[in-house]
Amino acid sequence: MNNMIPTFKQFAFIFFFFTFINTVAFCQNTDLQLAEQYFSEKDFEKAISLYAKLSKDDAVLPTIYKNYLAALYAIDDMKAIEKLIKRAIKLQPQNAAYHWDYTNFLRKTNKKDADKYWDSFIEQIKNNEGAILKTADLLIASKEYEQAEKLYKIGQKYTSGRYDYLLAELYYISGNKQKSIIEYMEIINNDESQLSTVQDVMQIKFTSDDEFKILEPIMIDYVQKYPWKIGFAEMLTWLYLQRQDYLKAFIQAKALDKRTKQEGNKIYSVGTLAMGNERYEEAEIIFKFLIENYADKPIYTVARKSYIKCKEEIVKKTYPVDMQKITELVNEYQQIIENNGIKPHTVDAVRSVAMLYATYLNDIPKAINLLQAIIETRYFPSSTIAEAKLDLADVYLLKGEPWEATLLYSQVEKSEKESTLAHIAKLKNAKLHYYKGDFELAKAHLDILKLATSREIANDALELSVFIQENLGLDSSETALRLYATTELLIFQNKYEEALKEYKKIKDMYPNHSLIDNILWQEAKIYNILGKTDSAIARLEDILAHHGDDVLADDAHFMLGKIYEEKLHDKSKAMEMYKNQLVKFPGSIYNQEARRRFRLLRGDTLN
């Protein structure tokens, strides 16, 4: 045991040894900091002097190498440069960066020698996938794209690694998008199981109109060269869907559906996407094709419902609303219900016709009876009953019975806890409190909904919450906001003339209130619904003239474009409005649609 206790001499040696090591480390650190300072100040001679001293330690060399090399190049000391790089290579022979530096050094005097040297290094690593990938990353960082491409192709030949996606990415980042697309097509050509992966990657990379113009002819070429490969037809359909060119996607889907014997499902999915993006005219064409050509297939019933739904949306958004067409829609829905009864696959039709009765035909009892029939059907899932309850609550609100409405909204909140339906119910309840002027309670509901999982619900909640906050208390009695909120309920109840009178009253009482632009916007929408186009235009132009920097300016601009296009058929004026929309409001949510409408009016084929 005593032999393990160090003597005084041993203790002293250990003490002085560690003191010496720490002193050396301290000196090195001080020299390194000073060298870096000289380098940053471009005092290269002094920096080199310290780097040369520090580089004697092999462990330190990698740390100072980059700046040391740059400093030597700054004073053009070629002998020292060559010596430094060779020493670094000797220390780390697998480090591609050092070999690339030596290649560049040789290029300054003899390009052939440089190429020969680099080729010899590549020869050494050609069977090592990890080394190839690291070296390629180095080349790409140096923007040596041709060298990286060459290396990937060597990797394809000599290793078992997958380089096709890497090559496609390389072509993309180097700016050769056409070659990148071709590489992605070749991936599918070699392995059609890669279709969905290729689509996922390309969906992120290729998003602009200019890129779509490059994509289409290449994809068409592959479809024509390999007509037996379904993957290329799928890609072309996918492209048209990305561009929201639903009729072209429909043409491709028809061919695919026939070849793959999907009995209309492929076509129906295109129509559903068109309808979901509110392109009802195109969706109507697609669903009409299905009901005319797939009458004996299971897809027929859902296609027919979707077809009628598209017609409904078109009628409801064409002002003034054609009541004859509303009646025709009701009859078509009623026929579905009479033929099939109230079943899971007809519930949507029942709900739609109920709301048509309530909203347009003023037959509230009929609407209530239809919705009650759904609610009282025991074998329906709770979500179906909850949706019917939400509709029924809206009907009671139309009828002027807010207490019945809030009771039903609350029932859905309770029965469908934390679901999207519960959040919809809470939002509707919040709006009901807002209509009644109970702003604090409305905000309490809305603030909870800001965290809703549905982005649309969260955004709606945030928008109304901010609106209340901004306008609350601007006059001592909050009268203006209360009058405005009550008038919004009149609009919900389709009492448009009464709403216009209330808006005039608010404007007369509070001519300088912050609500004025909102009132002008609501008036414009009402006049548009009533078919009073000149009055609608006057309000929209008032917004742009006096509230051009406010949040509703882009809404007003886009609506003007649609009025000139759809109501007045003034092509040049509509194009002017859409063009100005894109220039004046670059971040507007309407810009994609404004661009599409502008191009169609200009006569583009959207190829």
User: Are 97 and 138 contacting, i.e. CB atoms less than 8 angstroms apart?
Assistant: yes
Does the pLDDT of residue 75 top 60, yes or no? yes
Q: Which two tokens stand for residue 567?
A: 């109501």
| Cα gap 31→29, rounded to integer Å | 5
Residue 371: give the domain boundaries: 331-416
Residue 474's pLDDT is 57
Last residue of a domain, one of 373, 399, 416: 416
355 band by pLDDT with thresholds 50, 70 and 90: very high
Task: Write out the H or E segment, with its range, that includes residue 198.
Answer: helix 195-205
Tell me if the bond preceding 320 is cis, omega within 30° of 0.
yes
In the 8-state DSSP scheme, what is residue 6? P
The verdict on residue 234 lying in a domain is no
Considering the domain boundaries, does residue 567 fall inside one?
yes
pLDDT at 15: 41
Q: Which of 381, 416, 451 is the last residue of a domain?
A: 416
Domain stops at, among 416, 440, 473: 416
Cα separations in angstroms, 409 against 8, 63, 194, 256: 88, 67, 47, 44
Convert the pLDDT of each residue in 158-214 to its tens digit. 999 999 999 999 999 999 999 999 999 999 999 999 999 999 999 999 988 889 989
Could you tell me if residue 162 is left (phi over 0), alpha (psi between -120 and 50 degrees) or otherwise beta?
Answer: beta
Residues 352 and 374 sit within 8 Å (Cβ to Cβ): no
Q: Percent of the chain, pLDDT > 90?
A: 81
In a domain, 363, yes or no: yes
Return the CA Rg of the chain.
36
**561 and 578 Cβ atoms separated by less than 8 Å:** yes
Does residue 528 form part of some domain?
A: yes
In-domain check, residue 394: yes
pLDDT one-digit tens code per residue, 21-37: 444 444 457 878 898 89
Token digits for 459? 């955004």
Q: pLDDT per residue over 388-397, tens digit each?
A: 999 999 999 9
Higher pLDDT: 576 or 19? It is: 576
- Could you give the angle at the alpha carbon of 381 between the alpha carbons of 380 and 383, nearest 5°? 120
What pLDDT does 450 receive? Answer: 86
The yes-or-no verdict on residue 258 having pLDDT over 80 is yes
Return the pLDDT at 490. Answer: 97
- 402 in any annotated domain: yes
pLDDT digits (tens, 9 = 90+) for 206-247: 988 889 989 999 999 999 999 999 999 999 999 999 999 999
CATH value at residue 354: 1.25.40.10
Task: Inform me whether the pLDDT recorded for 13 exceeds 50.
Answer: no
pTM above 0.85, yes or no: no
The rounded distance, in Å, linking the Cα atoms of 506 and 500 is 10
What is the number of structural domains in the chain?
2
Mean pLDDT for the chain?
A: 91
Q: Is the pLDDT of residue 10 over 80?
A: no
The 3-class secondary structure across 371-383, one letter per residue, is: HHHHHCCCCCCHH
For residue 493, give the 3-state DSSP assignment.
Answer: coil
350 in any annotated domain: yes
Half-sphere exposure of 431 (CA within 13 A, CB side): 21
> Does residue 171 contact residue 185 with C-beta atoms inside 8 Å?
no
**Measured on CA atoms in the order 157, 158, 163, 167, is the torsion positive or negative?**
negative
Residue 355 lies in a domain: yes
